[in-house]
């Protein structure tokens, strides 16, 4: 039973529900009208006992009700937070100072919630370390399940033909985590006639980035595109960009678009991060630059663009890395191991 007011179309949830089905599980959903009133609502519903309760990403406020029923039914509770509420409010949004009483209360609140799970799933080993060190999740409860990408949706398509400029594509929600300011500053260092930088998407920082890029003929902004046609848009680019931010979270996560770019078989440049330590760290096919470093990003893009014929081969190597570490088959196998571990416990 998936428990909470989650978005079933969000890529992490959609892929995991599909993985459950491929493993032979029937997935039922309890989506309360209100997370805070979820326990009361569940008491008036005709609930049946599942074999396992899954608390999906971003739904910390639904954990108390899910944990109540897991204990009552004596079934495992697996919590997949994806991000920490404490980390988001304190270190990303900077809502409170890390040493403030409010920040500590948020940390303790989330720590108590995660302690109620039988297994807490992290999306990278570095994020698992954060759950252990900052939120006191015991190591024996932790598991790592990479996000992956839908390989039948993001698949290698023919490389762009023609002799026009090399296109460097960034797409995202313009968050500080993504370091889009680094992308714009790097783009302004590159020759307009040889390299076109496209920034696709929308978000809080987009207006400021449009102002920052004013007058740069090689920087283009495009509105957000539908997920269904995103692979085709990705296929028209020569180089894809990951994230370049300097926030603590940027060191712990592998963004969705990194998996998608690799699955699509396109060369990708991103910042170095602890998130890659057990997989891609040091892989020569990936373009690595330091966090918050537009000079390094501009230099690498110029270097890669000087040999357009080599980009296609780099893209093929990138897809091989995706298949090796992050394919859907790998994710399903990893999920199967986590479920077996939870049921044994």
- At 211 the pLDDT is 96
- Residue ranges with strand state E in 118-202: 119-122, 142-144, 166-172, 195-201
In a domain, 221, yes or no: yes
Predicted pLDDT at 45: 85
- pTM > 0.85: yes or no: yes
pLDDT for 28 equals 95
Same domain, 172 and 311: yes
On whether both 114 and 196 belong to a single domain, the answer is no
Query: What's the number of domains the chain is made of?
Result: 2
Quick one: average pLDDT of 261-276?
Answer: 97
Do residue 90 and residue 176 come from a single domain?
Answer: no
Q: Are residues 117 and 51 in the same domain?
A: yes
Residue 92: domain span = 2-148+328-344
Q: Is residue 154 part of a domain?
A: no
Note the pLDDT tens digit of each residue in 95-136. Answer: 999 999 999 999 999 999 999 999 999 999 999 999 999 999
183 and 295: one domain?
A: yes
172 with 205, same domain: the answer is yes
Beta bridge mates, 199: 170, 221
In a domain, 55, yes or no: yes
Residues 315 and 340 occupy one common structural domain: no
Does residue 280 share a domain with residue 175?
A: yes
Q: What is the mean pLDDT of residues 48-65?
A: 96
* Same domain, residue pair 255 and 122: no
Residue with tokens 């409170």: 96
283 and 184: one domain? Answer: yes
Question: Mean pLDDT, to the nearest integer, of 9-19?
Answer: 94
User: Measuring CA to CA, how many Å separate 20 from each of 2, 205, 259?
Assistant: 11, 37, 20
């Amino acid at each position: 039973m998936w428990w909470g007011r989650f978005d079933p179309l969000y890529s992490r949830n959609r892929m995991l529900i599909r993985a459950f089905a491929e493993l032979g599980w029937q997935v039922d959903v309890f989506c309360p009208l209100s997370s805070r009133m979820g326990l009361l609502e569940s008491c008036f519903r005709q609930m049946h006992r599942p074999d396992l309760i899954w608390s999906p990403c971003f739904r910390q406020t639904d954990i108390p009700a899910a944990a109540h029923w897991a204990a009552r039914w004596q079934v495992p509770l697996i919590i997949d937070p994806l991000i920490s509420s404490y980390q988001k409010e304190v270190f990303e949004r900077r809502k409170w100072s890390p040493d403030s009483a409010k920040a500590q209360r948020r940390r303790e609140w989330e720590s108590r919630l995660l302690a109620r799970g039988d297994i807490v799933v992290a999306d990278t080993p570095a994020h698992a370390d954060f759950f252990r060190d900052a939120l006191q999740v015991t190591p024996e409860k932790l598991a790592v399940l990479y996000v992956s990408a839908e390989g039948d949706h993001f698949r290698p398509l023919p490389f762009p033909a023609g002799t026009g400029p090399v296109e460097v594509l960034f797409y995202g929600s313009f968050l500080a985590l993504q370091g889009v300011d680094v992308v714009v500053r790097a783009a302004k260092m590159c020759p307009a006639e040889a390299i076109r930088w496209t920034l696709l998407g929308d978000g809080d920082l987009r207006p400021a980035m449009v102002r920052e890029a004013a007058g740069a003929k090689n920087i283009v902004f495009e509105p957000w595109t539908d997920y269904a046609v995103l692979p085709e848009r990705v296929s028209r680019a020569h180089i894809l960009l990951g994230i370049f931010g300097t926030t603590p979270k940027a060191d712990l996560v592998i963004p969705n678009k990194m998996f998608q770019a690799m699955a699509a078989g396109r060369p990708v440049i991103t910042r170095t991060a602890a998130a890659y330590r057990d997989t891609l760290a040091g892989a020569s096919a990936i373009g690595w630059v330091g966090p918050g470093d537009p000079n390094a990003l501009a230099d690498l893009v110029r270097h890669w663009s000087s040999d357009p014929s080599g980009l296609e081969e780099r893209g093929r190597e990138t897809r091989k890395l995706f298949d090796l570490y992050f394919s859907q088959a790998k994710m399903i196998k990893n999920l199967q191991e986590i479920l077996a571990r939870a049921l044994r416990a």
